[in-house]
């Protein structure tokens, strides 16, 4: 079944805003994802994979946005670049 729901949006937001500590090492980040699932989304099926897809999808849209010229506002383009830099320190 196809549907748009916002659960992955909220999950990604909560993960970045509430849970992840930027000072964690790569190994800690990987291990702590299980804790996140336990605490926030106990009934999700493959959260680690879904989160990874969400990040990669963001990268892909970012790449697309960067090809645009004056079709979008300069400040919007900057917002995408800044968000990309923010995400790159939190994978």
Partner 1 sequence: MESLEQNYIDGVMGSKELLLYDKIGDAIINPPNAADWEKKALTGVVKPDLIAQLKVSPDMFSDALLMVGTSFLPPFPPLQVESIISQQPYTLIDAINLLRTSEKSVTNTCSAFRDILDKQDPKWLDKYRKAKMLVKHCVTVEVSGRIIVREFESLTSDNIEYLGLQLPAELYHYLSKAMIGPRLMNSFVSLQSIVFPTLDGVVSDEYKHLVTRDLVELKEEAAALIASRIHRGYQFKDINMKFWFDDSLNTGLTHRNMHVKVNQVTDAWLVQDTDLKAQEKAVGAPSGKISFAALTLQNKDFAASTISKEKSEKPEKREKAAPLNTKPEILSNALWRLFHLRKFTNDQHELTSWGKALATTLKVIAPEIQKHGDVHHLEEAAFLAFELIRFNILNSANRHTELIGGPLRGSDSDKSNCLLIGRTSCLLKLRHGNIGYTGPLSKNFLSFHTLIKAVRETDRDLLEAITASMFLNHQANRLSRDGKVRNDFGDLGRRYVLSLRYFNTFANTIPTAFHS
Rule CB under 8 A: say whether 34 interacts with partner 1.
no
Q: Torsion-angle region of residue 24: left (phi > 0), alpha (psi -120 to 50) or beta?
A: beta
Q: C-beta of 84: minimal distance to partner 1 in Å?
A: 9
Of the residues 24, 35, 64, 91, which one makes contact with partner 1 according to CB under 8 A: 64
Work out the angle between the directed axes of helices 47-66 and 74-88 (0-180°, nearest 10).
140
**Six-digit token string for 67:** 């090809």
**Six-digit token string for 64:** 């697309």
**Which of residues 30 and 61 has its CB atom nearest to partner 1 in the complex?**
61
13 vs 19: CA distance, rounded Å: 9
Rule CB under 8 A: say whether 23 interacts with partner 1.
no
59 vs 80: CA distance, rounded Å: 10
Q: C-beta of 90: minimal distance to partner 1 in Å?
A: 9
Q: Residues in the site for partner 1, rule: CB under 8 A?
A: 1-14, 16-18, 40-47, 49-50, 53-61, 63-65, 67-69, 71-73, 76, 79-80, 82-83, 85-87
């Amino acid at each position: 079944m196809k549907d748009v729901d916002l659960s992955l949006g909220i999950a990604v937001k909560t993960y970045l805003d509430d849970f992840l500590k930027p000072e964690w090492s790569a190994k800690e980040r990987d291990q702590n994802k299980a804790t996140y699932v336990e605490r926030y989304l106990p009934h999700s099926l493959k959260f680690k994979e879904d989160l990874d897809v969400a990040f990669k999808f963001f990268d892909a849209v970012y790449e697309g946005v960067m090809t645009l010229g004056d079709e979008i506002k300069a400040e919007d383009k900057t917002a995408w670049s800044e968000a990309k830099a923010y995400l790159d320190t939190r994978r």
